[in-house]
Amino acid sequence: MRLHDLKPRPGSKHRRKRLGQGESSGRGKTAGRGGKGQTARSGSSIRPGFEGGQMPLIRRIPKRGFNNARHTIEYVPVNLTSLNQFEDGATVDELALRKVGLANGPVRRIKILGMGDLTKKLKVTAHAFSASAKAKIESLGGTCELIAKRVEVKQG
């Protein structure tokens, strides 16, 4: 096989649609653009949602109410079972969890959940703990430490 023998795969190349080649071609006269008007002109484009000057649907619908999604606090969930990979007596914080790959992604806060059983005494530092997770960690002699939330003081 040589360089001049290379060909694209069958069906991967399409012929260009030739417009304005006479009435019997199916793409003659108006060349698939319909009758007269804005869309028949060259270089014309109408933005999505434009309704010819009529008030668009998105602006006709009333926008009222409150959306809680704007105010939710997102956490990366970490189960107790996955904390067993740390050594006995280790300090487990956000940096350690991210290093091991248990808390990936752009979400900044971490919540420890009580799924599974913990077999080691650990000092766990996180943004939140479920009640069952806290009970299981402390029953083995470990400690649960909450990361303090930053309070912004307005200068004024």
**CATH number of domain containing 142:** 3.100.10.10
Q: Measure CA 96 to chain center.
A: 24
Quote the CA–CA distance of 79 and 133 in Å, as a whole number: 8
- Is residue 22 one of the residues assigned to a domain? no
For 98, the enclosing helix (H) or strand (E) is helix 94-100
The per-residue pLDDT for 153 is 58
- Is residue 25 one of the residues assigned to a domain? no
- Is residue 127 one of the residues assigned to a domain? yes
- Is residue 66 one of the residues assigned to a domain? no
* Domain span at 140: 93-148
Q: Measure CA 126 to chain center.
A: 23
- Is residue 120 one of the residues assigned to a domain? yes
The per-residue pLDDT for 121 is 92
Opening angle at CA 150, ends 147 and 153, nearest 5: 160
- Is residue 76 one of the residues assigned to a domain? no
- Is residue 140 one of the residues assigned to a domain? yes
The per-residue pLDDT for 156 is 52
The per-residue pLDDT for 152 is 56
Question: Of 77, 101, 78, 96, whose CA–CA distance to 86 is shortest?
Answer: 96
- Is residue 124 one of the residues assigned to a domain? yes
The per-residue pLDDT for 50 is 92
Work out how many domains the chain is built from and give that number: 1
Q: Measure CA 63 to chain center.
A: 25
pLDDT in tens for each of the 156 residues of the chain? 899 999 999 999 999 999 999 999 989 999 989 889 888 999 988 899 999 899 999 999 998 888 888 888 899 999 999 999 999 999 999 999 999 999 988 888 999 999 999 999 999 999 999 999 999 999 999 999 998 866 555 665
The per-residue pLDDT for 86 is 93
Q: Which sign does the torsion angle of CA 56, 57, 60, 62 carry? A: negative
